[in-house]
Amino acid sequence: MLSLLTPSRREFFRVGGSALGGLSLPNFSTRAGSSLPAANVGTPVTDKSVIFLFLHGGPSQIETFDPKMGAPVESRSVTGEVKTNIPGVTFGGTFPKLAARADRFTVVRSFVTGDGNHDIKPIVGKDGHLANLGSAYSSVAGGNHPGTGMPTNVALFPQSVDTKAQPKQAGFGDFLATGPFGVNQAPFVPGSGGAFQKNLSLTLPQDRIGDRRLLLAEFDKMKYALDGEAGAIDGMREKAFRLLLGGVGDAFDLTKEDPKVLANYDTEPLVPVAKIDKKWNNHKFYCDNTRTLGKLLLLARRCVERGAGFVTVTTNFVWDMHADVNNATVAEGMGYMAPSLDHAVSAFLDDLKSRGLDDKVLLVVCGEMGRTPKINKNGGRDHWGELAPLLLAGGGLNMGQVIGQSSRDGGRPATEPVYIKNLISTVMHTLFDSGKLRVTRGVSRELLSMTDADPIPGLHKG
């Protein structure tokens, strides 16, 4: 019998939460020399994927990639600086590994998020029609990769790799929002090896898998237990069927990964949780960050290899820097958070390069805002919407550069600002052939509008 016969209503809809458009598309092929699925010929979908690493809480632009050591003492980086392998460019002092790889990504020093509110506006905000960017993608690409069954839109939270982690942060926005793209476009959220993830497998004998009528009859039994939402079930059972037959459960199982690769990604030893001061109310989030960030990026890579086009990654609310009862000072907090980010992103870049995927996967790293250019009286930095850090890597774009400049104190752009709408346009121009997208029937005006703004200047080749 099927092992997916008794999930909760919520769990069932998590399986069936993405679009079903992919069911009508021809099967993908596989590129020579790569396990990443190729573009779907005849559609506007490219052969590229995007992983969006969201640094929730608002990281400091100064302590990350614009240290301003020539500014007054109250503005310059409290963690010092480190030289990168790009002449004349330095990063905050807690990022030595990324500094050694600066020629493989691009930093934007004129990125403006527009306000200092705690929210998730770069990934779910007004410029994206209040929908997860992956939901816009799956509205055209389809809910599942036709060849592998992998959901095209995935969201990874700490509990995706660690059952002991805190639940996903939901107080400042819904990462699973679908806006005008509809409930079927919601990101797929895997667990961390729990019962539901184990249910992403078949216990039906192989010689009976071909009996589609039997499978669908089993799914029919679920209709009557799900509050009468039969219209949605008809499509969602198809998605569940694809997930099961595609062996997607293995993609979310890190025990299937090469142990050496898994060890390379592991961030837990970098900041032993026993050394994180429990006097801060957010200490559990700091612990989750060090335990899970590397594994989350590894899981994201496994997803895009198997056909996911957009993957959201976040380790929850750790980048707040007020130096109050909740959050450590900038200096102490960066000691908790930066080593994991420095190591995990570096491991990810190395892994993609070794697999020949660095031009096929675009990594975006940013938060909802930046931090005040002046340290407050407690040794923290407060909310700031006038400038924020932004890193982009891969995707076949121009790497090894710094785009834009900031003012002397690191508080505002000194060159043409880059806005969220420009970042979203860059993402969409990576995922889609914009010319084909505009002549493809059925593409929503909301998605088309997300390509209207200019992509970030200097990134796209040609």
> pLDDT for 311-320, tens place per residue?
999 998 999 9
What DSSP assignment string belongs to 353-368? HHTT-TTTEEEEEE-S
- Looking at 271-391, list the stretches that DSSP marks H as alpha helix, in order from N- to C-terminal side: 283-305, 330-354
Reported pTM: 0.87
Q: Is the pLDDT of residue 34 over 70?
A: no
**For residue 448, what is the enclosing H or E element?**
helix 445-449
Higher pLDDT, 18 or 380: 380
Cα 219 from chain centre: 31
Query: Please, what is the average pLDDT of the chain?
Result: 86
Would you place residue 329 in the very low, low, confident or very high pLDDT band (cuts 50, 70, 90)?
A: very high
The helix or strand, by DSSP H or E, that contains position 309, with its residue range, turns out to be: none
Mean pLDDT for the stretch of residues 12-17: 41
pLDDT at 142 over 60: yes
Measured CA to CA, the distance from residue 339 to residue 79 in angstroms comes to 12
Is the pLDDT assigned to residue 346 strictly greater than 50? yes
Which residues lie below 8 Å from residue 401, measured CB to CB, with a gap of 6+? 86, 106, 107, 458
pLDDT for the residue numbered 66: 98
Mean pLDDT of 167-191: 94
Span 450-462, mean pLDDT?
92
By the 8 A CB rule, do 57 and 288 touch? no
Average pLDDT over residues 396-425: 98
pLDDT of 75-92, one tens digit each? Answer: 999 999 999 999 999 999
Residue 35 above 60 pLDDT?
no
The structural domains of the chain, ordered by start, are 41-197+250-449 (3.40.720)
How far is it, in rounded angstroms, from Cα 248 to Cα 201?
8
Of 305, 341, 288, 262, residue with least CA distance to 63: 341
Residues 282-307 have a mean pLDDT of 96
Look at residue 112 in the predicted model and tell me its pLDDT.
98
Task: Return the pLDDT at 425.
Answer: 98
Q: Residues 190-247: pLDDT tens digits? A: 986 666 566 665 555 555 555 555 555 555 555 454 545 555 555 556 666 666 656 6
State mean pLDDT over 337-362.
Answer: 98
Task: Convert the pLDDT of each residue in 88-132 to its tens digit.
Answer: 999 999 999 999 999 999 999 999 999 999 999 999 999 999 999
Closest CA to 116 of 438, 368, 393: 368
Where are the alpha helices (H) located in 82-122, listed in sequence order?
96-99
Q: Which carries the bigger pLDDT value, residue 34 or residue 388?
A: 388
Buried b (16+ CB within 10 A) or exposed e, 432-448: bebeebeebeebeebbb
Q: What distance in Å separates the CA atoms of residue 150 and residue 145, rounded to the nearest whole number? A: 5
pLDDT class of 146 with cuts at 50, 70, 90: confident
- Does the structure show a pLDDT above 90 at 258? yes
Give the separation between CA 303 and CA 272, rounded to whole angstroms. Answer: 28
Copy the structure tokens of residue 233: 């079930």
pLDDT of residue 14 exceeding 50: no
Q: Pull the structure tokens for residue 452.
A: 């209207």
